[in-house]
Amino acid sequence: MTMVYVRHCRMVIDNTYCTPGIRGFFARHNLDLSNFLKNGIESEILIATGDSMALKVVEAAEAEENDG
């Protein structure tokens, strides 16, 4: 299991879009944004959304973990 953090979002998403985009994504998918910002989120949860941008963020987190 890979944990995904907001830094991974920033690696993939333009910073000007990052905050509103993340808020909208979490609202659309009924996910807890506050918990994500504090603790991160399991990659499997993001994968389950099927969202293409979420999948790219998971890829960034996995790449970071593998480079670790």
- DSSP string computed for 8-57: HHHHHS-HHHHHHHHHHHHHHTT--HHHHHHH-EEHHHHHHHT-HHHHHH
Q: Distance between CA atoms of 2 and 39, rounded to whole angstroms?
A: 12
Domains of the chain by residue range: 3-67
pTM beyond 0.85, yes or no: yes
Cα dist from 59 to 17, 34, 48, whole Å: 19, 22, 14
**CB distance 31 to 41 below 8 Å:** yes
Of 26 and 68, more confident? 26
**Residues 3-35: tens digit of each pLDDT:** 999 999 988 877 655 778 899 999 999 999 999
